[in-house]
Amino acid sequence: MNIIKELFSKSPFGPLVEHTKKVHECVEMLKPLMEALVNEDYDEIRKIQDKISRLEYEADTIKHSVREHLPRRYFMPVDRVDLEGFISCQDNIADKAEDFAVILTLRKTKLHPEVMDKFFDFLDQIFQVTGTLLGAAVELNNLAEVSFSGAEAKHVLDILHGLNEEEWKADRLARSLSKDVYALEKQLDPITIIFYEKMILTLGSIANEAENAGDKLRTMILK
């Protein structure tokens, strides 16, 4: 049959938006996870960890289907290296969310009431960062429609500009939370402190990866 139709390769942007959404579903599981920790409901934590694992697996499946759309011979409106970097950052976000769930299953840790509020503030700030990224990434399909230029591109770049600021706030919160944790060193056993620190680092890396993904998205648009 006619070969002209084969000249058009399948758009990777539709599946890419799917991937973004799936990754965000993983991140959304962090809140119920923390709540279960507060309630010291360790069964629930294990259940949620199962769920995140499954979501992460689904995200991986979508990721593979996106990669199938990107053989070298495809000539695309965005830089392939940036696009692949973007996918791998997103992939890391889902991985880190899963890691966080796994960490919570390792030990029956109690959350100290003194740091509880700040932990939730920090978590909310992480959501701010990933939510901002989601808001920009879901526009990829629309961006492709307007050939990555003009008002739509500016709109997405504006969103991404906000992302850096949100990540910076998350960093600051992480630092202050860490300080609070170490301030409790007289009341807590060292293992718990190490454990808290591990939680903070993992959550922080989610925000970091989200910022990296945003940077890749920006260079994709500005190609």
Partner 1 sequence: MDIIILAVIALLGLYMAWNIGANDVANSMADAVGSGALSVKQAVIAAGICEFAGAVLVGSHVTETIRKGIVDPAALTSLPGMLEGEPAALLVIGMSAALLSAAIWLNFATWTGMPVSTTHSIVGAVAGFGIVAAGFGSVHWGKMGQIVASWFISPFAGGLMAFIIFKIISKLILGNAKPVKAAIKITPYIVFFLAMVVTLATIYKGLKHVIKGLDWLTDTHTLLIAVAISIISTIFSRIHVKKKLIGKESLPLHAQLEQVEQVYVPLVIISSCAVAFAHGANDVANSVGPLAAVANILKTGTVEMKVPVPMWILMLGGGGIVLGLATYGYRVMATVGTKITEITPTRGVAADIAATATVLICTRMKLPVSTTHVLVGAIMGIGLARGLSGIDSRIAKKIFKSWIITVPAAAIVCIILFLLGRAFMLDFIRELVLAARAAG
Give the burial string for 101-127 (b: 16+ CB within 10 Å, else e): bebbeeeebebbeebeebbeebbebbb
Q: Is the dihedral of CA 40, 201, 139, 79 positive or negative?
A: negative
d(CA 182, CA 188): 9
Selected binder of partner 1 within 46, 51, 67, 69 (CB under 8 A): 69
| Closer Cβ to partner 1, 8 or 190, answer by number | 8
The least CB distance from residue 134 to partner 1, in Å, is 17
For 36, what's the count of Cα atoms within 13 Å in the CB-facing half-sphere?
18
Q: How far is the CB of 221 from partner 1 (least distance, A)?
A: 10
Shortest Å, Cβ 71 to partner 1: 8
CB of 10 to partner 1, least distance (A): 7
Min dist CB 157 to partner 1, Å, is 13
Element (H, E) at 210: helix 190-222
> Exposed, middle or buried, 25 (CB in 10 Å: 0-12/13-18/19+)?
middle
13 binds partner 1 (CB under 8 A): yes
Q: Which of residues 140-159 bind partner 1 (CB under 8 A)?
A: 142, 144-155
- Residue among 41, 54, 57, 74 that touches partner 1 (CB under 8 A): 74
Q: Contacting partner 1 (CB under 8 A), which of 76, 103, 138, 193?
A: 76
Residues that bind partner 1 in the complex, under the rule CB under 8 A: 1-13, 69, 73-78, 142, 144-155, 223
